[in-house]
Amino acid sequence: MITTKGRYALRVMIDLAENNGHEVFVPLKDIAERQEISKKYLEIIVKDMVTGNLLIGASGKGGGYKLCRKPEEYNVGEILEVMEGKLSSVSCLSGDFNDCPRRNSCHTLPMWTEYDNMVHNFFYEKKLTDLLKPVAKTPSRKTKKAKA
């Protein structure tokens, strides 16, 4: 499951991309207000994002955060993995548990591997700029009553 850290990190990245945050520093309080997220919680999140080379931070007057690269150069997968770690469906495929004693005889491992590859590919094929597009409205499901 993707936690609030991962989801909020995506929101921060989108906010910066939409508010010229790849060229100028954007104050965290402005992001917090627009995204309706606690500034204190965002301070924790952006610290990890700076450490993960997603953002650049500057303190003082004119400070804030900005993207390290242009928005089109980020993919969703890298953002999520910086915040969440490796996205694995089962522990035996995560980085810490690759020494499973049943690895060579497990009948389900190929299925979990295939699933993890689909998830990985899905998120790594999505660019940050794909999330900037307006959300399409779902067509109404109202149907006209048949006239008798």
Candidates 2.130.10.30, 3.80.10.10, 1.10.10.10, 3.40.640.10; CATH matching 1-130: 1.10.10.10
Phi then psi for residue 127, to 5 deg, are: -90, 155
> Among residues 18, 35, 3, which one has the least CA distance to residue 128?
18
Residue 98 confidence (pLDDT): 62
Residues 6+ apart with CB under 8 A from 31: 12, 15, 16, 37, 42, 65
Residue 104 confidence (pLDDT): 82
Give domain limits for the chain: 1-130
Q: Give me the DSSP letters along 9-76.
A: HHHHHHHHHHTTTTTS-B-HHHHHHHHT--HHHHHHHHHHHHHTTSEEEE-STT-EEEESS-GGG-BH
Residue 145 confidence (pLDDT): 52
Residue 91 confidence (pLDDT): 79
Paired tokens of 145? 């009553």
Output the pTM of the full model: 0.82
Residue 136 confidence (pLDDT): 58
Q: State which residues of the chain have pLDDT below 50.
A: 148
Residue 103 confidence (pLDDT): 77
Residue 133 confidence (pLDDT): 66
